[in-house]
Structure 1
Amino acid sequence: MCGILFTNNSGEINTNEFMIALYLMRHRGPDAPLGFYNYENIMMGHNRLSIVDLHDRSNQPFFSEDGRYVIVYNGEIYNYRELAKKYNVQMKTSSDTELLLMLYINYGPIMLNWLNGMFAFIIFDTQMKKIFVARDRLGVKPLYYNVKGENYTFSSEIKPLLHLLKNYSLDNIAIRQYKKMRSFFNNRTIYQEVKEFPPGCYMEGNVLYRYWENDYSDKQPPSDEELKYLLESSVNYRKIADVKIGSYLSGGLDSTIITGLAGVQHSWTVGFREMNEFQWSHLAANHFETEHHVIEMNKSQFIDLSKKLIREKAEPLSVPNEVLLYYMTMQAKKENTIIMSGEGADELFFGYDRIFKWANSSEKWDLEQFSELYTYGSQKDLEIVEDAIQPFLKWKKPEIIVAAFFQEAHLRGLLKRLDGATMLNSVEARSPFLDYRLVERLSGVGYQYKAKDGVVKAPLKRVFKDHIPIEIAERKKVGFPVPLEQIFGVSFKGESYFDKWFNYNLEVLGELL
């Protein structure tokens, strides 16, 4: 896990400014000297967080043996050893970076379909003067860019791009998205000049191509044995590392299953004294005999750390619990460089039961009802909701529209939260529920399987009932609690606590602009 920076616009961006921008995300990779490569109009930078093959030979930018190709890469390819063997790649390192580069050299873009992992990378061909950019299927690893004509600047974070741009402006559509839906959609960021590189896509010769699109057509449910195998395989892949692995453990169903399957030594939970899940996390930790760490936050810390996060990210936070994740990961870094997390389970298994129950029972799409069930801001603004959901209306059936929206659009907001909370602490988060094999297998499998007999996440509870405490298997789902009412005080008439949260974020961000 690392931070990458690239530009082919060295005519406007000088080396000194590029290096300052690269250093702004030093937290993403403090384990090696700043990596830098300069060739004609190209500059490539890298911050390395050493996870696999800790040797200096795997530092980046990384070059092909003949020096023609150079790569900067952020992520993990979990099946890289199998791919190296299958395609007879003679490795000089034990790093997935080398494997990525060699597969591209030998096979071109088709190699993206073989990768099981999370990634964003850029390869430059010094002979053909061509760049190749790619991002993983679900957008687990971030990649942002600015484009001016044929000049591109890419970064793992927004803040370095703002430093290089100098002049930038807020996107009014994005602000409306945020204040209504607490996130950004259709590859927008809060800045007009900065876009998010779309997941499941690659760019070659300044042309964008889609290499992966999820299929939500009707599928038969997997057997319990198949589901168990897929999740166990996903967790085992994500245990591949040369550093210590821990796990978030709230005591909810998802984190409990992952913690148990991963067999970690250290588990972590966080909350407020007056609002937490400590009882449940202790129950799970005692069951698995982990060294459990309970992190308690107070309201003053929440305000201080939320301001720090907004300033570090140079964008508003989507959900308040990102602050708690950040604080917990700050402590977890003392023991673990990798953290297992349960992101993706609610999207895949219809854990948001109220909205999925509605979608399953609806024959026709109803935008107003969707907005009422999903959105957070008090302003109606249906135009913004319609714009966000538009790419998914092609599926026609309300259940599939909602499933696709959550799996692809809603999830991206949670992944930004997870990346910010972890990478600012030089920690890599891994999410087994986001293994593309699991996602592809369960997409299109219906509500009657995922909520059988009205039981939310029924397959997970059934398959893993003998592996986790029965109290947790039978526990009702709760959110990640943050006492916004106590932190921000009494609401004004017609203003929700989320309205206050949105305005607070925008005010803190405004101090930077």
Structure 2
Amino acid sequence: MCGIAGVYSTTPLNSSVFERGEQVLNSMQHRGPNHKAYFKDTHTILCHTRLAIIDTNESANQPFSDASGRYLIVFNGEIFNFRELRNSLTDIGITFSTQSDTEVLLNLYISEGSNCLSKLNGFFSFCIYDTQHNSLFAATDRYGVKPFYYTFQNNHFVFSSELKALEIFNPQNEIDKLSLRTYLHLNYIPQPYSIYENVFKLEPGKYLCIENSTLIKNTYYSLKKQNKKTPPTPFNEAKQKVKELLEDAVKIRLVSDVPLGCFLSGGIDSSIITALAAKNTSKLKTFSVEFKNQPFFNETEYALAVSKMHQTEHTVISVDNDKVSEAFQKVLDNLSEPFADSSAIAVYVLCHEVKKHVTVALSGDGADELFAGYLKHQAEYKIQNLHLAEKFSTLLLPFLKLLPKSRNNSFTNKIRQATKLAQSIHLTTQDRYWQWAGNNYPVEKLLSPSYFTPKQEEVFVKNRKNNYLPHLNHAGFNEILLADQQMVLPGDMLTKVDRMSMANSVEVRTPFLDYRLVDFVNSLPAHYKLNRHQRKIILTETFKEILPPAVYLRSKKGFEIPLHFWLTHILKEKVQNEWLNTKEIENENIFNVPEIKKIKQKLFSFNPENTPAIAWAIIVFRYWHKKNYSNA
């Protein structure tokens, strides 16, 4: 795991670009604290900061060149099948000077070009420079685990792992107002867009080539849909296949030359990964987060049950009120692009403490999007298969609207969920998906009409919202999961883990996103994954024998935090006087001040509904904006 950045031009670069190399390296130091360096020639500068995981020797440092010196690579990620690939390259006469996966990847590309991508099992973003042809090749992994920002303007191609590095090379970027509108609804900005105009994210499963001032982008991998014309794999055979694939996915991700452990929240996904890892690792270190005095958000008992069953060395990381303010500030400081999934705060605290024990951690990310693990999945299934109970819920809607709704406790959370279901039954599949994917709030009222006009709102609906979800109307349930894998997984879940883990120099590996497992699970019919009463059916049935009953029998509990309590109690003064200071907001002329006042009032009321999430989204954007535009 590392940080990469660079500039490439078909014409000679200005000397001022090279002078920024050291500054770029320093901005990515958290992504790679073990070594930093850059390569430069008249047309190119390639920067790399290294978090050493495989072959920690200096000979594997980057930028890395082949034996001839013609090709150079900067690489962020891990290739888990690099030993097999190395053997195949050795068989055709290629020799190696290191034990690193970087050298294998570079030589595989030299041997096979873009065809090498389909042979890689891992997560990555990388860039390869051909000094002889003065050309560039870049690629990202299949599911968007590792980020790759880029812009191509005036024959200058600039790329980076994080926006703040790109900004050093390419300053004076303008805010993309359509991206801001998207962010305020989703809490993140899905690829290919970023918060800046003309700055993009290379989508999962894509690669690009630049030669002779021309950029060409291609697809090497696409998510596979279920083929309904062929009979599905019988359920018991499918169970066995899932078991074999996930066991191997975990096993190959245990290869590391530095200490390794597992995140263990107590949910079924991280519990399965922990159980499988413990079979291959003695005294496996596991970690969970505990929210002191917040029982509704606390899952420690389940994590401890799994740890006891598999004899792991478990550490409970306690988040008390004293840590909250510091964690919020650290998260805000580490975001180079607005991102408001509030569970990032818990992930940051987790990774900060984990780094004291291990450098690599396995996680259960990706399972919900593959196996239908979210509550919204079951709600969608019920709407697509309406019973009397769902039809009756629409009649209760006027009554439900009068009841308090929040995520603070079980009762108000159930009222919140029932209201969302009743409000969404008569929507199209696409509109319902969009509503459930984002903040349940009329976001179109948030921005000042002078900043974001009604005409721009029309463009947003036509060119952004509809483009994100083009195939969802009249879609079957597996298409809902594919939409999650295409948008929510890379845009939200994997971004959260990458930014918060890398802020603490921790590598997180995701066995559920082994492409062999993903392709197989996506080929299975929806009823293998959920019904009206159960989610993740095949996953639970496959692995329940290695889990405590309390874990696989309990309801899904997302990795949530007591955001409302923290904003309205521990951070109350900051929220009222600094983060949501209406006088400052009025001077900025971005947000609609009367609407902000309504949000503040409701946030501190008995019935906050979804205002904690939208308040946090506004806070994150304003903090980012002030940091980047205060001197503009």
What interval of TM-score do these two structures reach, taking the shorter chain for normalisation? over 0.9
Instruction: Please list the CA deviations of residues 398-424 of structure 1 after superposition, one character each: whole Å capped at 9, or x if unmatched.
Output: 424321110111001111100111111
- CA RMSD for the aligned pairs? 2.1
The residue type paired with residue 426 of structure 1 is S
C-alpha distance in 1 between matches for 2:481 and 2:128: 34
Aligned to 2:298: 276
Q: Is the 8 A contact 1:347 1:411 kept in 2?
A: yes
Aligned length: 512
For the pair 1:227 / 2:224, whether they are aligned, the reply is no
CA distance change for structure 1 residues 392 and 82 in 2, over 3 Å: closer, same or farther?
farther
1:18 CA drift (Å)? 2.0
Aligned to 1:218: 227
For the pair 1:79 / 2:81, whether they are aligned, the reply is yes
Instruction: Please list the CA deviations of residues 456-487 of structure 1 after superposition, one character each: whole Å capped at 9, or x if unmatched.
Output: 11111111111111111111101112112212
Q: Is the 8 A contact 2:193 2:199 kept in 1?
A: yes
Aligned to 2:42: 40
Q: Is the 8 A contact 2:378 2:535 kept in 1?
A: no
Deviates more, 1:69-78 or 1:270-279: 270-279
SS at match of 2:545: coil
1:193 CA drift (Å)? 4.2
Instruction: Please list the CA deviations of residues 124-165 of structure 1 after superposition, one character each: whole Å capped at 9, or x if unmatched.
Output: 111111111111111111111122132111111111112222
Task: Select which of 334, 341, 351 maps to 2:356.
Answer: 334
C-alpha distance in 2 between matches for 1:212 and 1:374: 25
Aligned to 1:369: 432
SS at match of 2:544: coil
C-alpha distance in 2 between matches for 1:422 and 1:91: 31
C-alpha distance in 1 between matches for 2:302 and 2:275: 14
CA distance change for structure 1 residues 113 and 392 in 2, over 3 Å: closer, same or farther?
farther
C-alpha distance in 2 between matches for 1:494 and 1:250: 26
1:332-481 equivalences under 5 Å are 332-359=354-381, 361-362=383-384, 365-379=428-442, 381=444, 387-388=464-465, 390-394=467-471, 397-412=475-490, 413-452=492-531, 454-481=533-560
SS at match of 2:221: coil
1:453 CA drift (Å)? 6.7
SS at match of 2:528: helix
Aligned to 1:51: 53
1:305 CA drift (Å)? 2.2
Aligned to 1:253: 268
SS at match of 2:546: coil
CA distance change for structure 1 residues 245 and 474 in 2, over 3 Å: closer, same or farther?
same
CA distance change for structure 1 residues 41 and 502 in 2, over 3 Å: closer, same or farther?
same
TM-score by length of 2: 0.77
CA distance change for structure 1 residues 86 and 441 in 2, over 3 Å: closer, same or farther?
same
1:207 CA drift (Å)? 0.7
CA distance change for structure 1 residues 297 and 109 in 2, over 3 Å: closer, same or farther?
same
1:300 CA drift (Å)? 5.0
Instruction: Please list the CA deviations of residues 200-249 of structure 1 after superposition, one character each: whole Å capped at 9, or x if unmatched.
Output: 11111321111111111336245211110000010011111111111111
Aligned to 2:171: 166
1:496 CA drift (Å)? 2.0
Q: Is the 8 A contact 2:147 2:162 kept in 1?
A: yes
For the pair 1:187 / 2:192, whether they are aligned, the reply is yes
C-alpha distance in 1 between matches for 2:33 and 2:298: 33
C-alpha distance in 2 between matches for 1:151 and 1:144: 14
Aligned to 1:65: 67
For the pair 1:22 / 2:25, whether they are aligned, the reply is yes
CA distance change for structure 1 residues 380 and 499 in 2, over 3 Å: closer, same or farther?
closer
The structure where helix makes up a greater share of residues is 2
For the pair 1:487 / 2:562, whether they are aligned, the reply is no
Deviates more, 1:42-51 or 1:491-500: 491-500
Deviates more, 1:453-462 or 1:279-288: 453-462
For the pair 1:207 / 2:216, whether they are aligned, the reply is yes
For the pair 1:507 / 2:615, whether they are aligned, the reply is no
C-alpha distance in 1 between matches for 2:541 and 2:115: 38
1:67 CA drift (Å)? 0.8
Task: Select which of 294, 307, 312 maps to 2:316.
Answer: 294
| Structure number, greater radius of gyration | 2
Question: Which structure 2 segments of 5+ residues have no match?
Answer: 386-426, 445-456, 569-601
SS at match of 1:57: helix
Q: Is the 8 A contact 2:152 2:158 kept in 1?
A: yes
Aligned to 1:98: 103
Q: Sequence identity, in percent? A: 31
CA distance change for structure 1 residues 389 and 261 in 2, over 3 Å: closer, same or farther?
farther
TM-score by length of 1: 0.94
SS at match of 1:258: helix
Q: Is the 8 A contact 2:24 2:47 kept in 1?
A: no
C-alpha distance in 1 between matches for 2:174 and 2:330: 21
1:176 CA drift (Å)? 1.1
SS at match of 1:466: helix
Question: Which structure 1 segments of 5+ residues have no match?
Answer: none
Q: Is the 8 A contact 1:7 1:154 kept in 2?
A: yes
Task: Select which of 322, 328, 335 maps to 1:313.
Answer: 335
CA distance change for structure 1 residues 349 and 12 in 2, over 3 Å: closer, same or farther?
farther
The residue type paired with residue 306 of structure 1 is F
1:431 CA drift (Å)? 0.5
C-alpha distance in 2 between matches for 1:359 and 1:191: 37
1:122 CA drift (Å)? 0.7
Aligned to 1:8: 8
The residue type paired with residue 122 of structure 2 is G
SS at match of 2:273: helix
Aligned to 1:31: 34
CA distance change for structure 1 residues 389 and 307 in 2, over 3 Å: closer, same or farther?
farther
